[in-house]
Amino acid sequence: MENQIYDNHPVLKLEGKKSAAFTILAIALLTDIFFITGSFDVITFFLLGCYVIGIKVYKLSGTATFLLCLALLVLAYIQFLFLGPSVTTEKTSVWFFLFFVVGVVQRFRE
């Protein structure tokens, strides 16, 4: 009976759908960077928490996190070249820093 409860849990249903989960996370990150004008801590920590849960569920290595950091760093660089110091550049840099911290903690735990 107890196993039936855990079989229907929505997080466990995403266990075999890694690419779908990370596509949703990427779209949410890009939406926060480009379309949400203010800075909301609830959104930031919710998405960061989802990524940390994704690390546990999908058994991601620190390399995946640092690749995401590299992508965010390149995006921030391109934004800075074309837009200068703007709100979107700052939000991208904040996301880079947060994922970098998660990657460092993840490497220490490995």
Amino acid code (one letter) for 32: D
Assigned domain for 82 exists: yes
Query: Does 2 reside within a domain?
Result: no
Write down the pLDDT at residue 1.
46
Exposed / middle / buried, residue 25 (Cβ in 10 Å: 0-12, 13-18, 19+): middle
Residue 67 lies in a domain: yes
Residue 99 in any domain: the answer is: yes
Return the pLDDT at 75.
94
pLDDT at residue number 98:
94
Helices (H), 14-86: 18-34, 41-58, 62-83
Q: What is the pLDDT along the chain (110 residues), one digit of tens a residue?
A: 455 555 555 555 666 677 778 888 889 998 998 998 888 889 899 999 989 988 888 888 888 899 999 999 999 999 999 988 999 999 999 999 999 999 999 999 87
Q: Is residue 13 one of the residues assigned to a domain?
A: no
In a domain, 8, yes or no: no
The two tokens of residue 27 are 């779209």
90 part of a folded domain: yes
Residue-level pLDDT at 16: 65
Domain count, the chain: 1
Within a domain: residue 105? yes
Q: What is the pLDDT of residue 91?
A: 93
Residue 5: predicted pLDDT: 52
Burial grade of 87 (CB within 10 A; 0-12, 13-18, 19 or more):
middle
Determine the structural domain holding residue 38 and report its residue range.
Answer: 18-109
